[in-house]
Amino acid sequence: MRSTYLTVLTAGLLLGAPPTYAADDWVVPNQYIVKYPAGDVATHNTGFYRSLHEIGFPFTSTKNYTSPLFPGTVIDSAKLSLEQLKDLPDVADAWPNTYIPPSEGIKEGEVELPESASASFNSRSTKKRDTVGYLHRSYRKAMKAPLEKRQGGTQQDYWRAIHGLTGVQRLHDAGVKGAGAKIAIVDTGFYVQHPALGGCIGPSCKIIDGWDFISNDSNPGTGAGEDSHGTTVAAVAAGKDSIITGVAPDAKLLLYKVIPDYGESQYTSDLTNAIDAILRAVEHGADVISHSIGSLVPWSIGPMQALIDNTVASGIIVTNAASNMGTDNVGTLADRGAAKKSLTIGNYGTKYIHGYEVTATSDGSSKAIVYALGNVAPSASTLGVQVVFASDGVTVADACTDTLPSSFAANKIVLVKLGDDPACTGTGGDAAERLKAIWDAGAAAVLAYGTSPYGNFQEIGNDRVAGFLHNQADADWILNKIAANKPVSITFPTKANYKVKALENSGALDNTTYPSSGSGPTYDLFMSLAVSAPGFNYLSASGRYDGYTVAAGTSFATPYVAGIAALYIGAKGGHTALGPAGIAALREKIITSGTPLRAFPYRGESFPSGALDAVWRQGAGLVNASNVFYTPVEITPAKLDLNDTVHFTSNRQITIKNTGTTPLTFTLSHEAALGSYILYPGVPTIPPFFGGPTYDPAIKATVTIPTTSVTIAGHGSASLALQFAYPSGLTSSRWPLYGGFIRVRSSAGDTFTVPYFGSAGSQKDLTLLLGPPDFKFQAAGTSITGSSSLSLTNPLDRPVVTVRLAIGSAQVRVDYVKTSWTANNWSYPPTPGANNFVANVYDGVRYFTQRWKTDVAKEAMGMDPVFFELPIDGTKSDGTKVPVGNYKVRVAVLKGFGNPTVEADWETWVSPVVTFTA
């Protein structure tokens, strides 16, 4: 399981290079994480080790966990299989340990989008994916929109605009800024010296604790000039300097490095470090723990999921990034975000980008102008403007197509036009390099206007300014002055006096879920997404450039919600003052604060105006900190998972609690969200987002609310019935998902949201195997279609099996069985020598797997098969060989919600006869 940053990407959080889900090279060899049942850890340790000695398996214990949040141990054993381990007394659960590698080619601020859509100020993409064919023109327009609108007038403060979207600004205006709260960030390294993070670690610093779990020392830092995903994430939550205003700027930080930074060795960190980081955060008093990292394992079961659920139950908020694999459709959740009690965050597409205000002066008059896509000046300065003209001496030179002078005055800021040449301002264009050439020719700074480029200019240097004039009127003012022979100068302030302004895009992506935002549900049918938050083109801190960057991804939406939780917790005296019940109520308040987001026709779909995006993509919608903090209302449960039709329960209820002193009247209503078929018709595969899913207005529930209005006295509560009927008459084999929102409006004018979702079919009826497994000779690459004779000692003629899944399975196994084995012989757990079962193939069991990711042509695009060329060389799970003889290879895939003891709950495939010789 490949773990990466949850930034948006042509690379950002999860993803720059697509993660690999079941690649053996990311499993720590022969190492297992074991969780004990609740109880005395020492007793369980003794019993567990005794069992290992009794069955005769050599082992080494590398770590013990004594915390009640995760009692257990980590062992190395070359002979013990995971199945054997799970069957031992004192074992509640066990998992293979996996490495946490650095991201490949991922840089902060980059965006995981199809290549022709990467207009989110990202020109550093090194892993763009060829999904251009899926892009509808409306999507391309939306992605280019941020700089298409040139409005006049005075722009508002960037932070007031961003935080105004979420109600955070109301809290800041009231002096609520997170004092008294502690936020733990678990991520890569951090540029500790950045002023937004306080510059030091210690009891009197903003960063009160830090640890590098890779190097095992107290310095989680990186140096200046280095990429640092962790720096950007931490500053969103609690950064504070003249440029950055975090959500909880007065909160304290605990910074924990568990992922290697860019360029560091891949095999240096594993899941035990991630577990250690959470336990240390708890030990050091964290009120909120935030992860913008994870492996794409969309199941509610796993080591990180178990620890997160226990941590939240103990009274600590944990926020987790969904992922940035939403363009690959459903089931694209990080393992941490799949935990049942996680606050899993999606990415909200805001309408704002940031710009820097400077002053242009000419002939005794001055004008405030704003440039975007650039960096702040290293120091205060006033520079004269030089306009570059084309050969006719009249037309402003086009930096994209015209030949520019070979040198410029060192005290001038050059104003140049960017035309619409695709090689310059189009996808992958080199506009930044063309501006850099002006720098290299001696100019002190460069500003451009005209066609908005794909990419930003921040990365082309730290010591001089480059930027793009967002408002055409600003460029016209300068050009008109110079045309009248009136010199123009521009004054850049000191960094401490810079004004950061909000610039509006065309609104095409406003109030909607960003397309790359990771999507639920889990394969065991939990919605997972809680709310969405700003994380698109977001200004934050960096260890590179001028100290700041434009970031995009759920990596940054997630600490935004962590900051909101900190605002509340800090004002209430800390998480211990609230207690587990108070933290549980806060978690539900955050979810129900959401405002549902509209759907955007990225693929040119046709659906009703005002249609709401799928629940599994957005949760309850855009978070509202004002609702969280100021409204005396608690609603439980905060979201409703209706499951599939087999496990469906029609009658549900929500309880509304009025925690204030004044009676409130509440009115309930229902709003359906878009439902969709997830699988291709006739082909059991999940298409990428831009190749599907198929929205269908018929895929919606019928919801009856018997009591639509109720008045609740102060400190009172009321439970209200809800009756659901799932949609019928659908093609259930295509996995139809539906959802919507119960809206609760109070007489005080506040509105709350309870999202729900379900599957309109039986999960067990879905086809999991994506065709028969590939069974072939590894060296020759030829398929094995008949009986074959193989040597147990000659690896050159060994066969291999590859298993691909259309949907993830809770268990996939590859076994040796006798040639007479039939489905009637099924038994579980299988016993060697009984019912024609011989042994499990070495390394031939996977639990809680991912699907194989395919494009429209069903070509691999990054999610590995659950087994890829698993050797069939006669080696059993214990490392010994099967006796010489005739066998078959059986592949078994457990169906959704399947009972492993029931043969009909497995999809199976059996190979031709394989004869092993000496």
Positions annotated as catalytic residues are 187, 229, 555
In angstroms, the Cα distances linking 568 to 409, 492, 613, 912 are 53, 38, 28, 63
- CA atoms in the 13 A half-sphere facing the CB of 690: 25
Beta bridge partners of 372: 355, 468
Residue pair 704/774 in contact (Cβ under 8 Å)? The answer is no
Residue 266 three-state SS = coil
Rounded-to-integer distance, Cα 466 and Cα 456, Å: 9
Name 448's Cβ contacts closer than 8 Å, sequence gap at least 6.
399, 415, 416, 417, 418, 431, 435, 457, 466, 467, 468, 469
Edge-to-edge strands, sheet with 799-803: 774-777, 799-803, 867-871
End-to-end CA distance of the chain: 36
Nearest Cα residue to 775 out of 872, 689, 843 = 872
| Residues of the chain by 3-state class (helix, strand, coil), percent to 5 | 20, 30, 50
Give the strand pairing for 381-387 and 412-418: parallel
Quickly tell me which residue has 């006033």 as its tokens.
382
Name 364's Cβ contacts closer than 8 Å, sequence gap at least 6.
none
In angstroms, the Cα distances linking 400 to 28, 120, 421, 438, 459 are 50, 20, 6, 12, 19
Residue 404 three-state SS = coil
Report residue 876: phi and psi, to 5°.
Answer: -90, 175
Burial, 488: exposed, middle or buried (Cβ in 10 Å; 0-12, 13-18, 19+)? buried
Residue pair 321/85 in contact (Cβ under 8 Å)? The answer is no
Residue pair 384/413 in contact (Cβ under 8 Å)? The answer is yes
Rounded-to-integer distance, Cα 30 and Cα 786, Å: 34
**Residue positions counted in the chain:** 918
Report which secondary-structure segment, H or E, holds 562: helix 554-571
Report which secondary-structure segment, H or E, holds 771: none
Using only the alpha carbons of the chain, give its radius of gyration.
Answer: 29
Nearest Cα residue to 469 out of 407, 418, 429, 420 = 418
Residue pair 528/333 in contact (Cβ under 8 Å)? The answer is yes
Report which secondary-structure segment, H or E, holds 561: helix 554-571
DSSP code per residue over 79-148:
S--HHHHHTSTT-SEEEEEEB-PPPSS--TT-----GGG--SS----SS----GGG--HHHHHHHHGGGT
Report residue 248: phi and psi, to 5°.
Answer: -125, 70
Rounded-to-integer distance, Cα 806 and Cα 425, Å: 39
Rounded-to-integer distance, Cα 261 and Cα 269, Å: 11
Rounded-to-integer distance, Cα 22 and Cα 30, Å: 15
Rounded-to-integer distance, Cα 340 and Cα 299, Å: 9
Burial, 43: exposed, middle or buried (Cβ in 10 Å; 0-12, 13-18, 19+)? exposed
Beta bridge partners of 3: 295
